[in-house]
Chain A
């Protein structure tokens, strides 16, 4: 069995992923390239005695050093030497797509071109002379329709033929005009003579071109002074003679080459002005109704995710409850009750709490996948951009933030749709300020407990709005300090509208769901177990509990446990906020998951730890906090709103940003902010009330 590696390159929106899916089926693995947050997709298939590993490179418009995706893509080609590179091309948009092809030709890799979306091209009246074009580009060309699984075998055959063929040097090199061609060969000769081992893996012609283009990554790799001098002299010469930077002229000549090749080999048989996509766009991006349509679609996405998803969520919840009951009922005798408690309250509750959200996650990502695959996402970014721009964010940031109102974990995962790193980091940092579902439950407990009926509606609205306002302020601050820099100029392609395939949606949704299970699940499980130990041990000596009633025993158990002690320890720090040690324990506990705030409060007041019966808890809270009741209630909510996101969020932040540093920044940053804001509010409030 022969083993080969094939890399897939291509523009964004060219259907590369669909072709990848066609070739590999569900046999894929998604990860990150080391050190960067660029996604890496590997897959494989077995065909005619070959075991083929496919690597789906990030979609790029070119292979320069200007963006991390491009660097990752070209580094892969240079460092890992795939046996073949398949360039997936949107044949309905061929001239722009071939720009990337010219750069692959310059890298002198064994190339196969997949003219994808050939059905659309045919529909648009384009007729290709495949043989002639194949000759000019010196690469086999296969017509494919990825979405219909058409052309897969032909593509595989072409790949194998290319692998088995002897590699000849190209006959048709791209010409940049005599002046630049000369500079390239002079530089290339100089580079070829260098003894530098690190440069051996590069084609010297390619290095010469990159140096003339002032490619930052390559410039750093060349240490030889003579070469560097020759390069800068050549650049100045070209500017003098031709009036422009070599970089610009080379790009221009590439398009010239493409234009020439296309003119000879492509015929347009239908004259075609206004397309179907244009008609839809005139409605969807219309000044007046574009925005309402977008908000409506967001509303639907939300409904699908959280309302529709609540049914399977309930089933899962019931399943885990049943699991708890079974464990308790079938437990052999009275031995090792601590283990039973650990399993029920630690493991099952912990894992259950995370797995329970899986249906929501799947529905959410299915919705996003549909929006993205049809091409609507690009229009949404365009519509929201003006508003988001005023805050300092990109139009696309709106979508993860809306999701954040349901749950921060999938919202942070959703920031993958933001290409700009600074933008993405800023959005991730403030997503926890969008009051998530768990916080909603907390407000649902506290507002009726601390406020009179006529104020309750207003308070709900107020706390959500405060979250948004603080988020906006934080974004502005972050943009001025940590994530300083000009908002990256916004250039985006609006791809033609397309019908997504179920297969692609299914694979994409499942991949995201699995990622969620793995990451949030493992850490939450661990933390739940740790928390269980922290709230159960150490127990007070049984003798000391003699003579106290159930309520008091409960309180003593709690205060001797680790969590209780931490609560007491931080009490002096949180007193200026109007909190006592009981609230302190609840806050500490809620770090694992915000819902645990309610559970912990229930434990503190020794009621059934069941949210449905929280009206008991409400009563207890009303009794306990009679002084400055409204203010205390408000401060608790404020603190819950702003403070550290739950562990699952922190872990997801680390996963999406690639470093614990950012996760900690988010965690501590928000907690400190919560402390300061609540402190000010409480102290000022006391002044007015007192």
Chain B
């Protein structure tokens, strides 16, 4: 039997302390932000990563309609996704 223990490592607590961390869905058109973390499970996380969205990456919000889909620019590519995903991406 393996006892697994959840430890908050120094790195994670740094993240929690950082100021101005907010959900991507709150960022306005034209703003440039950096991804801090993504609260998604395996499959979605992997897809986002493979398309270029991962912590540390800078993105530009192109279109944040108040309802519906979301467009961002990552490096040279443009991605569109739903509000649900935008809510899960924490940026600063």
Contact = CB atoms under 8 A, between A and B. Distances in A.
Interface string B52-66: 101110000011010
B71 A489 contact: no
Question: Looking at chain A, what size class is its interface with the partner chain?
Answer: 35 or more
Given A62-B50, A251-B49, A287-B65, A93 B80 contact: no
B51 A489 contact: no
Interface in B16-53: 40, 42-52
Interface string A230-245: 0010001000101110
A66 B43 contact: yes
Contacts of A190: none
A95 B50 CA distance: 11
B74 to A, nearest CB: 7
A64 interface: yes
Contact of B77 (A214, A244, A386, A493): A493
A494 interface: yes
Interface string A347-385: 000000000000000000000000000000010001001
Interface string A207-227: 000000010000000000000
Contacts, number: 108
Contacts of A493: 51, 77-80
A277 B77 CA distance: 11
Contacts of A100: 50
A451 interface: no
Contact of A243 (B11, B48, B67): B11
B79 A492 contact: yes
Nearest to A216: B42
Nearest to A286: B63
A248 B44 CA distance: 12
Interface in A79-107: 92-96, 99-100
Contacts of A389: 82
A474 B58 CA distance: 43
Contacts of A494: 71, 77-80
Nearest to A94: B76
B80 A378 contact: yes
A622 interface: no
A579 interface: no
Given A62-B46, A96-B76, A248-B45, A255 B82 contact: no
Contacts of B42: 66, 214, 247
Most buried by A among B42, B48, B79: B42
Query: Which are the 9 A-B pairs with shortest beta-carbon distances?
Result: A61-B50, A62-B50, A243-B9, A386-B68, A494-B78, A93-B76, A243-B11, A491-B81, A96-B52
29 contacts: A64-B46, A66-B46, A66-B47, A92-B76, A93-B77, A232-B2, A240-B7, A242-B11, A243-B11, A247-B42, A251-B54, A255-B54, A277-B78, A281-B71, A281-B78, A285-B71, A287-B65, A378-B80, A385-B68, A385-B82, A389-B82, A491-B44, A491-B81, A491-B85, A492-B79, A492-B80, A493-B77, A493-B79, A494-B77
Given A93-B75, A490-B80, 10 more contacts: A61-B47, A94-B76, A99-B52, A214-B42, A236-B2, A240-B7, A281-B71, A281-B78, A489-B44, A495-B77
Interface of B: 2, 4, 7, 9-12, 40, 42-52, 54-56, 62-63, 65, 67-69, 71, 74-82, 84-85
Interface of A: 61-62, 64, 66, 92-96, 99-100, 214, 232, 236, 240, 242-244, 247-248, 251-252, 255, 277-278, 281, 285, 287, 378, 382, 385-386, 389, 489-496
